Chains A and B, each alone.
Chain A
């Protein structure tokens, strides 16, 4: 059985202009020790998924579906149970380390907070020695625990965030764009650190990013999201080298290959903007931007269907694609 299994997750934000469905039926599984990449452009709902996994969304948000962590549904568990699950079972590396740290408290104390919240027996001294250990684990000298966030560089702060995520030996770590806002050299360092830690500790991970090329390196499997839905899922090398969904192809094509002149002459982007989540297009939500759009795309909802070995895609181009029943479409 997989460690984490998300089934048909829907998240709807209430706004003054009506309901905003940010996630409209996302399903994926994360196995023991497996890294699953969640890719997609801004606004496709990937960060919303991350917050939903630990029930961190605002109270008035509507969340349906199932999030099973070791067989227990996070969405229906009691607050007391949820509190122990948070961080001890599943932790998050937030995007933007700049704001993830409290500016007026020493970083060591902030890491220790996680330990103290979850092990009531731990003394301050024990917690601090564990903090030193954690900070060394992420490649910083232990004395940095006494620094304030403003005394650290962006990369160092992100390392602290990673140390914090590991503080309670979680089974699964959700990395929400851990490399955004860092320069490319530091990104590479952070990525190799995350990869190394994941392998050493045998962590399961959900790695969220818009950068497919990063995921190929890090992830075992990739789920590509578009407009709140998973449109393609499969082993990471296959997703990158042989995409089945036109959106995945466009996402992969948006990154130039260094040294290849054709990319420099004609950078391939994806024209248009992501759809307005309050009014998703009829049929396949990608059809208005799809380079290989067909007549029936605007009226048919493709579902995730088997598309080769161990992979799934939701596109009519995939032979034998299942479609949603018309009755359900009108809903």
Chain B
């Protein structure tokens, strides 16, 4: 299972890395698309029921309304996965969108892990008042419903790549912190930590030399799951229109689909394609994460 997940993830990583080879980046700009696209009327009649057709036609022209939606097209030789409402190649959008998804997911996860582990180790290792204060902060962040927090933060901080990374990190570090703190509590009571203290080692040396190396497997397992979570969070925030307006990501494609009423128009590829991308990537990463967790914690192995 872990291997299958790894293959999926590696496939997506290579797509992101070799995006310029797989798709024409020019196709991402709307003006390019407008110039190179023969407006083509959408013929979704085979997808819609008679009532739907009737209803659409009643609404001022309905599906034949010559507007942006005219650019929507289903699979053709020119556009293997169809186009969006601006006539941009869905294939190019997805390929280039994977880059943003990965960038945000990795960056947000590393910030999350760094923040979460740092505070978790500090709280667990030093204990006492430090632990009490940090634990209350962690709990406060755990209690806050993350979507609303993310929405508020994103709207305060403004839209942009850096901000979306920070928003995801701020809303997800607390659970990592809690995990790391509890592990630190068990590791610090081990005899080799006491031995290191008996050696006359300082706190920093003990944390770097003994605590961190013993926490590494669990932090790594948590990292993979955080990446999966960040992919979903990025897609969600972009879908809510809180992403970076200048770059295309899977979430923003879905947002476009929502705004142009793609489902209503029967442009199923517009919704399904980015949806499948997000799903497969998260599934792949999660499968890797579970496999790593199983290696780290052999008690999870059934047999």
What is the interface of chain A, defined by CB distance below 8 A to chain B?
54, 56, 82-88, 91-92, 94, 96, 99-105, 110, 113-114, 117-118, 164
Q: Which of B197, B202, B205, B214 contacts A102 (CB 8 A)?
A: B214
B216 surroundings in chain A (CB, below 8 A): 104
A-B contact pairs, 11 of them (CB 8 A): A82-B200, A87-B198, A92-B195, A94-B194, A94-B195, A102-B209, A102-B213, A104-B216, A113-B196, A113-B201, A164-B195
- Please, how many residues of chain B have a CB less than 8 angstroms from a CB on the other chain? 18
**A88 to B199 Cα, complex, angstroms:** 8
CB nearest to A111 among chain B residues: B199
A residues near B210, Cβ cutoff 8 Å:
102, 105
Residues A100 and B192 in contact in the complex (CB < 8 Å), given A56-B198, A87-B198, A87-B200? yes
Min CB gap A83→B, angstroms: 4
The main secondary structure of chain B at its interface with chain A is helix
Name the CB-closest residue of A to B195.
A100
| Cβ of B191 under 8 Å from chain A | yes
Per a CB cutoff under 8 Å, which of B198, B201, B205, B209 touches A54? B198
- A96-B216 Cα distance, complex, nearest whole Å: 25
CB distance from A50 to the nearest CB of B (A): 10
Q: Give B220 Cβ to nearest chain A Cβ, in Å.
A: 13
Bound CA span A49–B15, Å: 63
Task: List the A side residues contacting B202 at CB < 8 Å.
Answer: 83
Residues of A within 8 A of B214 (CB): 102-104
Q: Report yes or no: A94 in contact with B200, Cβ–Cβ below 8 A.
A: no
Q: Which of A82, A99, A110 contacts B191 (CB 8 A)?
A: A99
A92-B198 contact, Cβ under 8 Å, with A104-B214, A117-B205: yes
Contact A86 B200 (CB under 8 A): yes
Give the residues from 206 to 257 in chain B that come closer than 8 angstroms, CB to CB, to chain A. Answer: 209-210, 213-214, 216
A84 CB to nearest chain B CB (Å) = 7
Which residue of the partner chain B has the closest CB to A50?
A: B198
Please determine whether B199 and A101 come into contact, CB atoms closer than 8 angstroms.
no
Contact across chains for A117 and B198 when beta carbons are under 8 A apart = no
Instruction: Note all chain A residues with C-beta closer than 8 A to B199.
Output: 86-87, 113-114, 117-118
Bound: A164/B197 CA distance, A: 13
